[in-house]
Structure 1
């Protein structure tokens, strides 16, 4: 799974349907196995024993919780990448040509990457050595700052990339 985003990057279908699949599969499981759940609770109450099916349902709910946690994590990652793709498109940070059919085809695009940890957000813009490098200027930092609504701390220049570092806001509440 690549972390880099260009104008050709597509939001994966799993990112759009992860929550509905989780909810539907949970409802189907409860709907189809509702009688067994009632039987299990009655059997556990009467015999005071655990059965295979009660363990089966705990496994199903454990998988559902893990799936939900992964869906939340992946949706945040994919939403950040989608935000960068929209940024590239809206600021015309790509080159395109018209083909014989009159349709616009993208020939080259700026490549960006979202790197995040607990202390900072780094948006890395890769240089390709082509004409798109002329589009990378000092205004991109301020545009990114307004896009993600965080304060731009610094810009780090590398040979083939520029890192824009943004501070994560620390919790400044009083603890009594």
Structure 2
């Protein structure tokens, strides 16, 4: 089947362009996404138009600090590949927003948290849910240009109720 791509350079170009440009690529972790992008090279990564990512990984992994004590998160390192995808049109991110371990302000007293949740329950950025502005790697999402849509779905609700559930924030 793939031998047809070896007929000529123009057929190869069209085949590669169709494969990477028309398919939706789904990744089960940020590390898998980064390895895929580095493995296919920047020319092919630039042809990708549709991706889905399960946004999970170890938040505390970092590269070795440099001489000034600065370091880079390994999680954000893989998400930087998004900015190399110039033809990217749709991004779907599955993230754990509503499980108990991801809720905001776990250190606060239950009375204060209950009061704050009651005051913000009609707002999309409800105090009981995760704040996406603090998500590691979110800067690379903000840096994308020419995108038709970016959708965020709650993976925890998928596990408990099935189907896709957009997040509130």
With normalisation by structure 2, the TM-score equals 0.26
Structure (1/2) with the larger strand percentage: 1
Structure (1/2) with the larger helix percentage: 1
